[in-house]
Amino acid sequence: MTATADGSGLARAADLVRHLEALAAQEDPGARADRELMRLIRAPGRVNLIGEYTDFNEGWVLPAAIDREVWIACLPWDRPEVVLTSLDLDQTLSFEFDSLSPEHSGARPWIDYIAGTAWAMREAGLPIRGFRGVLNSTVPVGSGLSSSAAVEMAASWALAVPGAQRPAPPAMALIAQRAENAYMGVGCGIMDQFASAAGRSGQALLIDCRATESSTVPIPAELSLVVCDTRTPRDRLDASAYNVRRSECELGARLIGEHEPGVRSLRDVDEAMLERHFHRLPEVVARRCEHVVRENGRVMATVEALASGDLDSLGRLFAASHTSLRDLFQVSSPELDVMVEIATATPGVVASRMTGAGFGGCTVSLVSKGSEESLRDRVLREYPSRTKLTPMVHIAAVVDGAGEIDLAGMAL
């Protein structure tokens, strides 16, 4: 997939190219001007409209790729090694292909995501190539906008051998998910990598996480997406309660499956079935299952509401999802709750809820066009006085998924 860059992307691309040329000149003066070998990659973060904690339960989710992105400019070489400079951290790290192993992960968090992707690509039989590169990101780390998935998808393009056959986005997303699951030790589902790989401009993706298939769902032209960052970053998810929630859901599916042979995961459980077996479940497990089963239904109802322009239903569905995440799944936070309260009290806001894994991070709001600045102003005014924190507000554009930028036609 050849990607395109807008005005701000062109400026970012030019900056990355200049940095890479300067580094190349230090290490090999002859490489500075060789732009024919240079590659430029972008991969977006995502915001999930609805469908939280349903992905690893093989259910349905409704994310959209947004214009908070990871960029990598790189010069491929024949050495089995990656040397990468993070411009955001002013830090250069490296790894060799011969040392790739999940047991070596965790010591250097940001480059481990690139190393994990290289490992997963090799495990899948894909050829990889080393490179010298620079990385820049506008996806806030720890915000719930999938900075790690964006890094993995950008890395999958940078590591690819030019001209080699590339798996389709769903298959590539599965490989990147394996990097996060098996290499980084985070039990995430497929949503984040899938959205970054397969996003479409102006469209949400309805993803069937069991079949790893998707369909596009147009976001009504009269609505904008506004993402409000509480500035309460989560701990690394493998050190948080994320993996605990996954094990609780798996236990619930297993206990129900002992009496319902067709149950492989909570995707196979409907509300009537859950009610029949509710008493068999430990109390906390029953609450987790109730959230997931009803959240799957809310995803489908949201798709219908978007298609029909039913704004009242969108508001109710987002509110029910947030309440369920707060009370049943217990992954919200006081700051997320305050942010949702402020948004829902703002004229022009159609719907608002926490998004992502929770424990901090962001909310997502559907806002009538023309009311975005009203929401921004109200959040910047009221949120600090209620939380003693300074928020960030992103009016997000919905963009295409990851790909390589054609440098040949760009005036950099």
What CA–CA distance (Å, rounded) separates 366 from 353?
A: 9
Query: 178: part of which helix (H) or strand (E)?
Result: helix 169-178
**Please, which residues have CB within 8 angstroms of residue 114's CB and are 6 or more apart in sequence?**
82, 84, 95, 151, 152, 155, 158, 159
Q: Are 187 and 242 in contact (CB under 8 A)?
A: yes
Distance CA 296, CA 138 (A): 30
| DSSP H helices in 280-328 | 283-308, 311-327
How far is 38 from 158, CA to CA, in rounded Å?
10
Q: Are the beta carbons of 274 and 256 closer than 8 angstroms?
A: yes
410 token code pair: 């760009």
Nearest to residue 1, comparing CAs of 399, 406, 398?
A: 406
Give catalytic status of residue 270 as yes or no: no
Candidates 67, 112, 192, 268; catalytic one: 192
Q: How far apart, in whole angstroms, are the C-alpha atoms of residue 136 and residue 88? A: 6
What single letter denotes the amino acid at residue 82? V
Give the Cβ contact number of residue 336 at 10 Å.
27
- Exposed e or buried b per residue across 351-370, where buried means at least 16 C-beta atoms within 10 angstroms of its C-beta: bbbbbbbbbbbbbbbbbbee
> What is the Cα–Cα distance from 267 to 257, expressed in whole angstroms?
12
**Tokens linked to 352:** 């608002």
Given a contact cutoff of 8 angstroms between Cβ atoms, the answer to whether 77 and 38 are in contact is: no
Nearest C-alpha neighbor of 110 from the set 133, 89, 128, 124:
89
Query: What are phi and psi for residue 49, nearest 5 degrees?
Result: -65, -45
Burial of 7 (0-12, 13-18, 19+ CB in 10 A): exposed
Residue 314: HSE in the Cβ half-sphere, 13 Å Cα cutoff: 23
Q: Which residues are catalytic?
A: 192
